[in-house]
Amino acid sequence: MTFVVIEGIDGSGKSTVISLLSRLLPRVYVTREPSSSPIGRLIKEWALREGTADPRVDALLFAADRIEHYKREIEPRLREGYIVICERYVESSIAYQGAAGVPIEYIKFINSAVPKPDITVILDVDPEVAIARVKQRGAAEKYEQLSFLKRVRGIYLSRAAEEGYPVLDASRPAEEVAKEVARLIEKRLGSRESTS
Ligand SMILES: Nc1ncnc2c1ncn2[C@@H]1O[C@H](COP(=O)(O)OP(=O)(O)OP(=O)(O)O)[C@@H](O)[C@H]1O
Ligand SMILES: [Mg+2]
């Protein structure tokens, strides 16, 4: 019944770390945003392409996808007792659409319908390293540009300082990063058991 979100720029290793985590922890349900819903598909097939939507439209689509994703997928799994690990959530909207020029207060407002995660972890890596990692995957998406990812990283780090999110050095081997995230989750689970 713990809602964990893994954040970080493209290529920081979120998907890699999450797949390792699902082997380190019991009863894990893994999901990601954009979701597999029709709104998520619209984002992937249209909004994430180069030079398409206005950044406010992106922000609105991501927020709409997130409300559906939370209600239809995340909340039911939490009720069933899973540790839900989600790749990207509200902080991705703040960092990416914020870097694209949308006021952060506007992004926070349109995301106020969904609850905060129990744990948000930021995987931090130099954008040059991240770009080199994702280049091996093929054509870059519209956000995968060095100057843009530098701004995204800056927002993630200032949000982490404001909100107290743990920032993990994700230039290390993924196994090491995953073990550290697992320890953070276990600590949180342990402290909850001892208070309830
Ligand atoms: N710690 C690491 N060290 C070296 N390479 C890594 C590490 N973590 C991931 N990679 C490699 O970098 C690439 C991107 O990793 P991954 O897909 O996990 O990143 P991501 O943060 O999920 O990216 P996206 O935001 O695009 O979903 C993959 O080829 C992966 O194998
Ligand atoms: Mg990924």
14 is in an annotated binding site: yes
pTM here is 0.96
Local mean pLDDT, 10-residue blocks, the chain (196 residues): 96 98 96 97 87 88 98 98 98 97 98 98 97 84 87 98 98 98 95 68
Domains of the chain, by residue range, sit at: 2-195
Residues with CB under 6 A from ligand 1: 8, 10-16, 133-134, 136, 170, 173-174, 177
| Model pLDDT, residue 195 | 59
| Model pLDDT, residue 48 | 83
Residues present in the chain in total:
196
Nearest ligand 1 atom, CA 171: 1
Q: Give Rg (Cα) of the chain.
A: 16
Strand order, beta sheet including 2-8 = 28-32, 83-87, 2-8, 119-124, 167-169
Nearest ligand 1 atom, CA 170: 1
Q: How far is the CA of 121 from the centre of ligand 2 (A)?
A: 14
9 burial class (0-12, 13-18, 19+ CB within 10 angstroms)?
A: buried
Angle, CA of 169, 175 and 180, to the nearest 5°: 55
Class for the domain spanning 2-195: alpha beta
10 is in an annotated binding site: yes
Task: List the structure tokens of 185.
Answer: 């989750």
44 is in an annotated binding site: no
Cis-peptide into 127, omega within 30 deg: no
22 is in an annotated binding site: no
| Model pLDDT, residue 143 | 77
Neighbours of ion ligand 2 (CB under 5 A): 14-15
User: Which numbered ligand comes closest to the C-alpha of 12?
Assistant: 1
